[in-house]
Chain A
């Protein structure tokens, strides 16, 4: 397969709760224009497009087609990707397949979410509608006060079972979730494209926020954001011609498994904190990238963490440390922006969550670190190889991308 590199990145000027000054297509075009401005490229340089966002979150159909003028896609092949929380990274993977296969040379990826124009909870409800329908008929008490199948409410409710299981089995405490959230809010304060920023956040200040659903506090939870991200990927030959540098894709993988949420009708048999797909996908991506010991060879990590305990949990599942060790790395300061294993220097999903972009931003942020273009949130150590992770589906789908500063050999 051919080498593929990321040669350009564009963001909307801000990621915030409500962009009321632009509609969806106008907002997306800001990121497209930013990417063209950053690269000096234009629509004529692009062979094909990949477009991604969450299904149903804005309640609009086929945004990839009606935004055609605004993403400069007229006369080009366009494919829409929607794999849930992982959408943005699946879109990057699709662009990779386009180029690595030899079908196209230069592909633009456009992802967005404008959550202020829809209802995410209604969108999420659509995932479990058949289950809920049958359970209602069978006498479930939707208020959750009695009866089998009491609901915990929304994604924060479902995720609290995962967080609680993780804490009980890793030896970490709720104070470590507080500390992880604080670290990421501080990192976000250095990133102009982050949403929730707090340069002075501490574990203590996060601990003062209200418990929503034990062990998850308000301060552990991602916002809903409006924003868009664009990236241009190119073959090795085209990258040499069009760009000064590139972040090279060395390995990628994705994996799904049994749903640990939303499958109440036929019995949930999986620990929501097990995350076997993450372990399998990481192993496969490392093999493809020729990485034998990720602890030594990976210089920085971007993890998809809608909730702050997931940074710690996924560090272990990805093999970046031993099981039960992530909170010790946090305590030792190793996860900080100037630490040995910097994680989510961008502030992570817990600080910025325009969902269609969230898994894509893990890749673009790793690319910026490799290119040395992350600005104030550039990590202190040299970055030769970086690991990005996406998570979503019914809590059981994971995408992985390994980037490096040089094209892959062989």
Chain B
């Protein structure tokens, strides 16, 4: 007989204020309120990061050029999940692509609705389904839908 002891605990993540989150992520979140995706472009190599990095990992220089990228893009890779994060089976399989938005180099993870798992393919065009009431949260981008 194996014994398992469960200890209940809470972790208040709001008490952490990392410097990093005040930068590109904050800028992106404020744009999302207006249904816009704001990234940061490297002045040297042209790579566009989303959420924006303030440092180009390729060129090793500081960057700060805010740039709006498209909310349409291409599925670069995807997976189909059959269980939730606790391992319980999902009623419907969930499609999660990584999408490269037009004018952007980042591969952004999200959920894809409105298409059957067997019809998803790398290279398919998708767009953002924005929430009607946006608050400047990652939830403003509800999910992707086929273009």
Which residues of A are at the interface with B, using a C-beta cutoff of 8 A? 130, 133-153, 157, 160-162, 164-165, 168-169, 210-216, 258, 264-273
Main secondary structure on A side of the interface with B: loop
**For the complex, what is the distance from the CA of A144 to the CA of B81, rounded to whole Å?**
10
Q: Say which residue of B16, B18, B53, B94 sits within 8 Å of A144 (CB atoms).
A: B94
Which residues of B are at the interface with A, using a C-beta cutoff of 8 A? 13-14, 16, 18, 20-21, 24-25, 29, 39, 47, 49-53, 57-58, 76-85, 94, 96, 98, 105-111, 117, 121-123, 135, 137-143
Instruction: Tell me how far the C-beta of A258 lies from the nearest C-beta in chain B, rounded to whole angstroms.
Output: 5
**For the complex, what is the distance from the CA of A135 to the CA of B106, rounded to whole Å?**
16
Residues of B close to A134: CB separation below 8 A? 16, 18, 20-21, 25
**For the complex, what is the distance from the CA of A355 to the CA of B132, rounded to whole Å?**
47
Given contacts A141-B139, A148-B141, A150-B96, 7 further A-B contacts (CB under 8 A): A134-B25, A213-B81, A258-B57, A266-B52, A267-B106, A269-B57, A271-B76
Q: Say which residue of A133, A150, A268 sits within 8 Å of B110 (CB atoms).
A: A150
Q: Are B77 and A146 in contact (CB under 8 A)?
A: no
User: Which of B51, B82, B122 has most chain A Cβ within 10 Å?
Assistant: B51
Instruction: Tell me how far the C-beta of A225 lies from the nearest C-beta in chain B, rounded to whole angstroms.
Output: 19
A-B contact pairs, 8 of them (CB 8 A): A144-B85, A149-B110, A150-B111, A152-B109, A153-B81, A214-B117, A264-B51, A266-B51
Q: Are A268 and B98 in contact (CB under 8 A)?
A: yes
Q: Say which residue of A133, A141, A145 sits within 8 Å of B18 (CB atoms).
A: A133
User: Which of A141, A258, A265, A267 has most chain B Cβ within 10 Å?
Assistant: A267
Count of inter-chain pairs, beta carbons less than 8 A: 151
Residues of B close to A160: CB separation below 8 A? 79
Given A130-B18, A139-B139, A147-B139, A267:B109 Cβ within 8 A = no
Q: Are B79 and A152 in contact (CB under 8 A)?
A: yes
Q: Are B49 and A145 in contact (CB under 8 A)?
A: no
Q: Are A271 and B82 in contact (CB under 8 A)?
A: no
Instruction: Tell me how far the C-beta of B123 lies from the nearest C-beta in chain A, rounded to whole angstroms.
Output: 8
Q: Are A267 and B39 in contact (CB under 8 A)?
A: yes
Residues of B close to A136: CB separation below 8 A? 13
Residues of A close to B76: CB separation below 8 A? 165, 271
Residues of B close to A211: CB separation below 8 A? 80, 82
Residues of B close to A135: CB separation below 8 A? 138
Residues of B close to A268: CB separation below 8 A? 98, 106-108
Instruction: Tell me how far the C-beta of B129 lies from the nearest C-beta in chain A, rounded to whole angstroms.
Output: 9
Residues of B close to A212: CB separation below 8 A? 82-83
Please give me the residue from chain B that is nearest to A269 by CB atom.
B105
Lowest 10 A-B CB distances belong to which pairs? Answer: A139-B137, A267-B106, A168-B122, A214-B80, A267-B49, A165-B77, A160-B79, A266-B53, A134-B21, A139-B138
**For the complex, what is the distance from the CA of A290 to the CA of B114, rounded to whole Å?**
54
Q: Are A210 and B82 in contact (CB under 8 A)?
A: yes
Please give me the residue from chain A that is nearest to B84 by CB atom.
A143
Residues of B close to A269: CB separation below 8 A? 47, 49, 57, 105-107
